[in-house]
Amino acid sequence: MTLKLLLIQGANMASLGDRQGSTYGDLTADRLNQMLQQHSSKLGYKLDIFYTNIEGEAINKVYASVTDGIDGILANPAGFTYNAYALRDCLTYVAPPYVEIHITNIDKREIKSVLSVAAAGVVYGFGIDSYFIALEAMLRLLNHEIYQNH
């Protein structure tokens, strides 16, 4: 069985590499996508990457993930981090397991994520590597659940 994961890239993430280089680095969204797809090919899981600046679109994607058979959802909520309560409720009550990702150390920046309470875990502060750490954590979580359920 091939695991299917969804990565939601929240508000402003499509501009990665074009904004706040001193905070987020110069890696573009397109290059990050390539790196993530290479990771999925190497480890044998399917990864759907979805960018949106609109919370309602993210919510619709979460609902669709249930009918699409997505096994796990990861998200860098970015601009949704501060006040996406509707998305938080959706991830809490509707979604498969959720792992939250942030490139920077949000505690150091004194940012509180309203979505983190819905997460199985949160990975932040490791730059772009936060994505790969989160993906591997999700794979371990899902493989453990699969093992426990058989």
Token pair 């399917």 is at which residue?
Answer: 46
Point out the catalytic residue in the list 24, 45, 51, 131.
Answer: 24
63 is catalytic: no
- 144 catalytic residue (yes or no): no
Rounded distance, CA 44 to CA 46, Å? 7
**Strand-pair partners of 8:** 50, 75
* 45, 51, 102, 131: the active-site residue: 102
Q: Report the alpha-carbon distance of residue 42 to residue 126 in Å, rounded.
A: 21
Question: What Å distances lie between residue 68 and 62, 71, 89, 95, 134, CA to CA?
Answer: 10, 9, 20, 11, 21
Angle at 91 between CA 85 and CA 97, to 5 degrees: 150
Q: Which residues are catalytic?
A: 24, 102
